[in-house]
Chains A and B, each alone.
Chain A
Amino acid sequence: MPMPSPPRLPDPDTARRPAGPSDRSAPVARALLAMLVALLLGALMNADSLADTAERQPFGWQRTAAVAAVRPLEVVADATRLGGLNAWLTDSVGGWFRQAPGRVTTAGSLDNAGRPAPADAPDEPEQNAQPSHDRDPGIEHPAADGTPRDGHPAADGRQRDEPHAADRTPRDEHPPADGTPRDEHPTADRAPGTDGGRPDLSEHGQPGLHPGLAGWRARRTPTSEEPLEVWLTGDSLVEAIGSPLDTELNEAVPAEVRTDPNYATGLARPDYFDWHAYAEESLADSDPDVVVLMMGGNDDQDIRDADGQVLRHDADEWQAEYERRAVALLDRLVTEERDVFWVGMPMMQDPQLDDRMRRIDRIYQRATEAHPRAHHVPTRDLFAVEGDYASYMEVDGGGVERVRRDDGLHLTFAGGRVLVDRRLAAVITERWAP
């Protein structure tokens, strides 16, 4: 069968449209009218989606204004049922189109991502919560519409009509997954006399393991038939770690790393993505030996506590609530047979953002201290040269490479390799290598 023949090839220099109006031309007022009709009708027909977008904004006056502007559209759309077509398309064609393939681990989040906060939630005070450091977007899909910056928002293709995970799962009130009070974890599997052979991490200034775990060892020895199962999850920050972690771990121990980024998520907005529910549901389907967590870049925003009170990101109450969420997440992840490594936030290019990330990092550190099998893996020192943020640095094997992306937040793959080679792989293999 012959190839369809394209028309004569245009020269790029002449490939332009005639400058004057064509027969199809119309007065600009007509175009404007058509556009206004389209936007108004489109807004009504997409009112639910617009409401989602508005409610995903960081708490503050912009969100308040957006939510207030969208609410009348929702009322009219409900009354006229104009939203029906969008809902039908989303449920039928959209659902099929968005269906994630079997191994895309973000598929799990289809059912878990939360809907926006309920309409009757108390209005937040007007606060300047929108971070001032939103920078040029990079290829790693920082958010464009006011949603958190670190990834394609809802790149998981979540379905809007799923019930809010938080509605199903009381947030932050779960007991530890193993049913054991936090401070009463058994230490029965502590292997005596196994302190030797631990890599000396003191050169990095901070240990990777929980102080009380110096002698702990893995309960089983991974083999090529039953490799070490590692669930690497978090926000878009984990993208750069997956490949080097897979490579590096397999040098020491048979390992299978499942990289599972949930873009633009964090602990600040369970109304958008409920990490606690997601962790529970993911662990209901799998039982990894090791969980590696890395998130936080989206969490420098105000949060709403269980009473509906909006807490400013620089308030003490914010820190207390955030820590409660971090501890609650670890409650769900840690068991007596599973290690959780919480990778801390690296230094940020923007000083204001860096201050907030440092506070968040301290919270992660405190949260891990509450769990004997949870370990904080500090990274601030790894990506600093003479104490300052560095986009480029000398990497193992020689040479200077770019370790941070243009956004001043994410790691490049070379940066991911630095994190893995210099710290993360060591703290994992120290516990799991035979």
Chain B
Amino acid sequence: MLFPTIQYAIFFTVVLVASWLLTSRPVRWKLAMLAASYVFYAAWDARFVLLLLGATVFNQVMGVAIHGAEDGVRRRRRVRLAVAGNLAILGWFKYYGFFVASLKNLLASVGLDSPFPLLEIVLPVGISFFTFQAISYVVDIGRRRIEPAPPIDFAVYLAFFPQLVAGPIVRAREFLPQLATRDDRRIDVGRAFGLITAGLFKKVVVASYLATTIVDEVFANPAAHSAPEILFATYGYAGQIYADFSGYTDIAIGCALLLGFTFPDNFDRPYTARSITEFWRRWHMTLSRWLRDYLYIPLGGNRQGRVRTYRNLMLTMLLGGLWHGAAWTFVAWGALHGGWLCLERWLAERRAERPTSDPELAPVEPWWLETRRWLVTFHVVCVGWIFFRAESFETATTMLTRLVTGWGAAPLVTPPVVAVIAGIVAVQFLPRDLGAALQERFAGLSPAAQGVALAMALVAIDALGPPGVAPFIYFQF
């Protein structure tokens, strides 16, 4: 059940009415939300509701066991066991085939056979997201940051449908307190409906348009396309994946708001970034901080010397790349980002070592230098997207090669395509207050006027977008 469908609109309306009616009955409210979330998940594949249920039971049992550990050593052991259990589930469903195939190829290169058979395993949608949420729960209990939640609360947290299949990755310590003190009698309607409308527009109109007019065709057969087409298909994919994923999380956050929950932001105009470091503070922010808190810092972060800091950065980004998909192209994407983060860190350290490195005394950067940094950052990100989108290294290298060698006519690069790509980047430079001001005005309208405004928006989205809806890109992760 995808967000931009009539089925979801009906489903969510029913859930919102139930939520409203059950506001004063928290236990029934939780049971209703849990049931709704399982129905939502079962719409993809009912079998995997059992997996979700199993993950819930396992992590709740482990959470209680970790909390009950008498000393730090036992606690850490139990945390490791819980994390290993979660990673085993994720590894089995998502990475088994990838690792066995890679191992087979490696062993075959030295004339050996792999003892592991290749199996047919169906990937459950959203498993990467709910596994990461579960890990945050047991680790935070181990760190004494939270206590085990009542089972029904934890079950609602793990399965809560707005963020179940593609995030944002909400931590237990953000969600559970809101569940305990939930009060949805008053909600920020301007922000909620603003996010939902913007998310629908980004997904249905922008992402679909870019995918169907240039991106899919060029990535399907880059050898048949000229350099300008490949360049704009790459820009187009940058726009598409932003519109697609941020559109999804906008809708998720908006729906959660209507149900009385405040989720963390997941995007903050990432294409305004002037360094890759900054990019990762703006792109998929809930994943960035998850990787930082549950991977980078446990690895030692930047507190164990320069070399280990670089190693930790690279490892974090390589594993972050692999999280996105079981393919070496994703690892390459992570390596590119990790390598560039290391380079930026190295340059920053060199600057800091100079005698006149006091930031107070540093001259203000001229505009052209800032523009250059923005351009470099944007294009590094775009090169990364080539590996992210390409199904194989062959496709990626063909794209990169044709960028240099394939100059020729570019019938796919039309004014509307250029305008949409420029538009999706340009809007990120608009003042943040602009959206807030619109939401403020919307909130001041009567419910009937709000309904009319929203209906108009639905008409525009329907008229501009193609019929039917493609699934969100991040569902596969």
Contacts and interface: CB of A to CB of B under 8 A. Distances in A.
Interface in B246-262: 258, 260, 262
B471 A49 contact: no
Interface stretch (A26-34, A122-130, A293-301, A312-320): A26-34
Among B221, B282, B466, B475, chain A packs the most CB atoms within 10 A around the CB of B221
B211 interface: yes
A408 interface: yes
A156 B459 contact: no
Contacts of B274: 3
A201 interface: no
Interface residues of A, number: 103
Given A3-B370, A22-B188, A26-B186, A247 B223 contact: yes
Interface in B238-297: 258, 260, 262-265, 268-269, 272, 274, 278, 281-282, 285-286, 288-289, 292-293
B464 A158 contact: no
A136 B124 contact: yes
A3 B278 contact: no
Given A3-B370, A144-B470, A42 B455 contact: yes
Contact of A37 (B187, B398, B448): B448
A286 interface: no
Contacts of A400: 101, 104-105, 108, 118
Contact of A401 (B101, B440, B455): B101
A339 interface: no
Nearest to B12: A35
B105 A152 contact: no
Given A144-B470, A399-B105, A406 B123 contact: yes
Interface string A1-32: 11110110111110111110110111111111
Contacts, number: 322
Contacts of A89: 459-460, 463-464
B178 interface: yes
A46 B443 CA distance: 25
A41 B220 contact: no
A14 to B, nearest CB: 9
A38 interface: yes
Contacts of A246: 221, 223-224
B467 to A, nearest CB: 5
Nearest to B278: A9
Contacts of B260: 28
A295 B242 CA distance: 31
Interface string A392-424: 100000111110001010001110000000000
29 contacts: A2-B370, A3-B274, A6-B429, A7-B431, A11-B281, A12-B285, A25-B188, A25-B189, A26-B187, A28-B19, A28-B184, A28-B187, A35-B16, A36-B13, A37-B452, A38-B455, A98-B466, A101-B214, A137-B475, A138-B476, A145-B469, A147-B468, A153-B470, A154-B466, A154-B467, A156-B212, A158-B467, A160-B467, A400-B118
Top 8 closest A-B pairs, CB basis? A37-B451, A153-B468, A38-B454, A137-B471, A89-B463, A2-B367, A41-B455, A141-B470
